[in-house]
Every structure is written in structure tokens, then in C-alpha cells.
Amino acid sequence: MLKEIKTERIPIKMWLSDIEEGALAQARNLANLPFAHNHIALMPDCHQGFGMPIGGVAALDNVIIPNAVGVDIGCGMCAVKTTLEHISYPVLKDIMTGIRELVPLGFKHHQSAQGSENMPQREVDPILNPIVTREYDKAQFQVGTLGGGNHFIEIQKDENNHIWIMIHSGSRNIGKQVADHYNRLATELNEKWKSPIPRSAQLAWLPFDSVEGQTYLREMQYCVDFAFANRKLMMKRITDVFEQHCKGKFNAFPMINIAHNYAAVESHYGKDLVVHRKGATLATDGTFGIIPGSQGTESFIVKGKGNPESFNSCSHGAGRVMGRKQAQRSLNLKEEIKKLNEKGIIHAIRTQKDLDEATSAYKNIDVVMNNQKDLVDIVHRLTPLAVVKG
């Protein structure tokens, strides 16, 4: 931990030395919630979000806040280490073309439903999970799709030259529908209850043991499972492409998967609490995690140290240093392309619009990793070879 703020109801513990004012204001709002427990933790990639800063961790007593999970419920990472130790540039380009043909990007969906066998094997019931039930058929066209924003598919190599496949994606529209519904519901109920928390804080809450709270929890967990199913199907399709171009069995290692937008009941400081991680990754002792860099920089496979001060958490990536519109306005397209070309990376920067995902739009990943040495150990450093962006 680098810094602690003690001016609010409970402390704010920070694993970064500098933080934008908007993110800090959101952290102060969290620290002043009457049901926030012990302290608020801010990871080194922290930046402003909606209601709760991205890279924030809050442990709440018998309360769940939809906006503290966010709209992309279950968004997370998966990675597979392969037995391949080399891919030629022409073959790599062919593989990336094949991936784009099989995995819809951005707002695109599959032309046909992918089948219930590729959906989470969890009960779907109009009473137990009404929004999931409503969106279930549409979601069958979305499972196995990347989405947009900062989601990506990346081919990488580690320090021993093993090739890795990494995916960052979430719960697509079904997660957003669940998030929006329960945030609206919580906002309406908070006004009805005359909650002391101002609406402007965007932290409308539900009692965890209430019907509404438990229904949101079930729907949220379905979306976490859907996000995992989404990554798993994409990984299957990507490995199919690899099999078409690379001889031999190459996916002999198990897939690492970890989410970074969710809430879960955990025991901390002698009490069962609802821990909200919004852009933060579980880092219990021995847990394998994934911390991606920005486009064109290293990513990391890590192992958690179980630091109680971070509620057993670490960063979920590099974290933005400028907003999307700001990056598109201020960054130099030729310079950003040159940075990636000099590294020999097959990248996704083509136009000014793409600069929202340029390397310079993100924090320095080496600084981020150095700031959380008490949270994780680095197991593998992964250098990018090619990237597909949503």
C-alpha cells in the first residue's frame, strides 16, 4: 500500500500515489456509506467509473449495490498456454484472419443461436431470474462474441517462448440488461425509503437479504457464468483456428479464467461481507490471475499473496490514464502506429477512432505491477505478438 486517506468515515487504502479527482471523489462516497466495512481499497489501475471507481474494492455489510459491480457483469480474462514455441509471421496473420471470421467483434452477433449447450448450465426461471429469462434467447446469439471497448483477443509469448492465447471479454448485452434493471430498481426503492445517500453518488443499494437483493444476486451470478461461457466458447473457436494452421497437440495446459466485475460473500476481519470488485481481481493466497497491459505492452500471469488490506484483491489491468474521447482527440495516430510497428505487433490501430485503445491511453503497466508487489507475484511475463480489438 502506498497511501491512506483517513478523512472519511472509514479509511481509503490506495496502491497508487496519484489518482484523478473524479475517482477519488467516488472513493470518498464509498467510504462514507454507513454499511461500508473497515476500509475501501483502491488498486493501482484505479480510475473513474460510474458510481464506484474502476479498480475499487468495497466490503459492505448486508448490502449489495448493482452499480458497484457495473454494467459488464462478469467481465474478465482467460488465458491458455500452448506447447507452441514459434509461429511465423505469415501463419500468425492467417490465424488472426481466421479468428475474425469465427468470432464476431464489437456490436456484431452470430447469425444463428449457438445452442443451450454453450450457455451456463444454471436454472432459468421467470420468477428466480426474470431478466435472464427475458434475454435468454437473444443471448444464444451473443455467446462466443468479443464485444467492444477494451475487450480483446491477443496472441503472446512468454519468457520461455511458449505461445499464449488471451481473451478479455464480458457478459455482452445480457449483463447490461441485468445491471441497468437492478440499478433502476435500487434507485426507485432508495427514493421510496428516503435513503440518506444522494442519488448523484450513483450508489443505489439493495438489502442483501431482501427479495430484490437475492434476485439481483442470482441474475448477477448467471451473468458471471455467461461471461465465462462466452470466453470459453471463443477460446474453443480460436484453438480450432490454431489447429488448422499448426501441427500437433498444442493446447495441453488448462485454461486460467478470472472475473473482475462481481460481488460475492466473503469473510474479512472476522465478518461475512458482500465484497464488490469493480475492475479488480481476486488474489487470495495461491490464486492464479491475469493482469493485461495495454495494446502493445506486456501482460502478466500472477499468483495472489492473500493480502487482507486489499480484501485479497489486485488490479485487473493497466488502467486508463485518459478517457476515450480525450485519447481520440489528443493522441497522434502516426506515432501510436509507429510504436506498435516497431515492436513487430500485428495490431488494431487503423484510424483516429481506434486511439481510444492506444498504448498511450493507459497507465504504465510496469508502474502498476511495481505498486502491487505486496498483492501478487509474477509467474509469467507475456509479450504481445498480435491483437484483435472489439
The yes-or-no verdict on residue 112 having pLDDT over 90 is yes
What average pLDDT score do residues 241-253 get? Answer: 80
The yes-or-no verdict on residue 243 having pLDDT over 80 is yes
In the chain, domain spans? 3-321+362-389, 324-361
pLDDT at 155: 97
Give which of 232, 224, 209 is closest to 179, Cα–Cα: 224
CA distances from 306 to 156, 277, 303, 314 (A): 27, 15, 9, 10
pLDDT at 247: 73
Task: Tell me how far apart the alpha carbons of residues 25 and 35 are, in angstroms, rounded to a whole number.
Answer: 18
Model pLDDT for residues 350-370, shown as the tens digit of each residue: 999 999 999 999 999 999 999
- Residue 216 contacts residue 187 (beta carbons within 8 Å): no
pLDDT at 100: 96
Task: Tell me how far apart the alpha carbons of residues 199 and 196 are, in angstroms, rounded to a whole number.
Answer: 9
Task: Tell me how far apart the alpha carbons of residues 96 and 387 are, in angstroms, rounded to a whole number.
Answer: 8
What 3-state DSSP class applies to 90? helix
pLDDT at 253: 86
Model pLDDT for residues 167-206, shown as the tens digit of each residue: 999 999 999 999 999 999 999 999 999 999 999 999 999 9
Task: Tell me how far apart the alpha carbons of residues 137 and 135 are, in angstroms, rounded to a whole number.
Answer: 6
Q: Please, which contacts does 349-358 make with residues 24 or more away whose CB atoms are closer than 8 Å?
A: 349/295, 352/328, 353/328, 354/389, 355/327, 355/328, 355/331, 356/324, 356/325, 356/327, 356/328, 357/150, 357/152, 357/294, 357/295, 357/327, 357/389, 358/294, 358/295, 358/327, 358/331
Per cent of the chain over pLDDT 90 is 96
Model pLDDT for residues 297-330, shown as the tens digit of each residue: 999 999 999 999 999 999 999 999 999 999 999 9
What average pLDDT score do residues 364-385 get? Answer: 98
Distance of CA 326 to the CA centre of its chain: 22
Task: Tell me how far apart the alpha carbons of residues 333 and 341 are, in angstroms, rounded to a whole number.
Answer: 12
Give which of 270, 266, 307, 301 is closest to 285, Cα–Cα: 307
With bands split at pLDDT 50, 70 and 90, how would you rate the model's confidence at 249?
Answer: low
pLDDT at 348: 87
pLDDT at 326: 95
Please tell me the pTM assigned to this model: 0.97
83 vs 279, more confident: 279
pLDDT at 390: 85
Output the nine-digit C-alpha cell for 353.
477512432
Cα dihedral: 314, 320, 323, 324 (round 10): -110
Give which of 351, 350, 340 is closest to 383, Cα–Cα: 340
Per cent of the chain over pLDDT 70 is 99
* Whole-number average pLDDT of the chain: 96
Instruction: Please identify every residue annotated as catalytic.
Output: 316
3-321+362-389: CATH topology: tRNA-splicing ligase RtcB (3.90.1860)
What average pLDDT score do residues 57-79 get? Answer: 98
pLDDT at 248: 61
Task: Tell me how far apart the alpha carbons of residues 302 and 286 are, in angstroms, rounded to a whole number.
Answer: 9
Residue 74's contacts (CB-CB under 8 Å, 6 or more residues apart) are 170, 171, 175, 220, 223, 224, 225, 226, 227, 228, 259, 261, 262
Phi then psi dihedrals of residue 72, to 5 deg: -100, 70
With bands split at pLDDT 50, 70 and 90, how would you rate the model's confidence at 268?
Answer: very high
What average pLDDT score do residues 77-87 get? Answer: 94
